[in-house]
Amino acid sequence: MRKIYATGKRKSSIAKVWLQPGSGQIKVNNLSLDAWLGGLEAKKKRVLQPLVLTEQLSLVDITVQVLGGGFSGQADAVRHGISKALNSYDEAFRAILKPAGLLTRDSRVVERKKYGRRKARRSPQFSKR
């Protein structure tokens, strides 16, 4: 079967995901998942969540190119991309992925800094005297 392509996004991270039938190999930026995320076990679980829910962990090979942001945003972008690719791979997975909220793009991003403020909402220290 052909490769299936999907794009996942989170914060400022963008993940390009290619999915094809295989033996369960996952490559992220030409590294294995363990080498890419190191000891961040909770983030590994988040990345593998759509594969575990659809029971495709050892049945598909996944190649990912991810850029922008930090580990948390990148991990969630990869998860979103894998979910979208699985949905394209088999439409029956939609009934599993949609209720778990894995097909919805998490649109939360950092609020912009405003002038006259230190950050988005933090105002300068006030001195009465």
* Cα–Cα distance measured from residue 50 to residue 55, given in angstroms and rounded to the nearest whole number: 8
Q: Distance between CA 85 and CA 4 in Å, rounded?
A: 6
Helix (H) or strand (E) holding 17: strand 13-21
AA letter at 74: Q
Q: Residue 19 forms beta bridges with which residues?
A: 4, 62
Max Cα distance, the chain (Å) = 74
Q: Full-prediction pTM beyond 0.85?
A: yes
Give the tens place of pLDDT for each residue, 81-108: 999 999 999 899 999 999 999 999 999 9
Please report the pLDDT score of residue 1 as a whole number.
64
pLDDT tens-digit profile, the chain (129 residues): 689 999 999 999 999 999 999 998 999 999 999 899 888 899 999 999 999 999 988 899 999 999 999 989 999 999 999 999 999 998 999 999 999 999 999 999 999 999 999 999 999 999 998
